[in-house]
Amino acid sequence: MRKEYDFSRAKRGAVIPSPGKTRITIMLDDDLIELFRAKAEAQGMGYQTLINAALRDAVAPKPARKAEDKPLTVAVLRKVLREELHH
């Protein structure tokens, strides 16, 4: 390698685009950034990838609840008990 390089006429190259991604600037709380960085390091991935996954999960459609998945209320419990005790 040379001991000196002349960059006086150098030009910055184009940034290689990532298909399907857009570079933005976003302000996030420091504690959130640190949380995502720590989680990302533990999982061996980038923190921005982890933030992207969390955002995807937040906007993903949730599966529809079935009728039997409804929370049990006092009125429903009383009705079921009456029906069972009647038989």
The tens digit of pLDDT for each residue in 33-58 reads 999 999 999 999 999 999 999 999 99
Structure tokens at 48: 């921005």
- Residue 65: its pLDDT value, please? 73
Whether 55 and 61 have beta carbons less than 8 Å apart is answered as no
Structure tokens at 33: 């950034």
Whether 47 and 28 have beta carbons less than 8 Å apart is answered as no
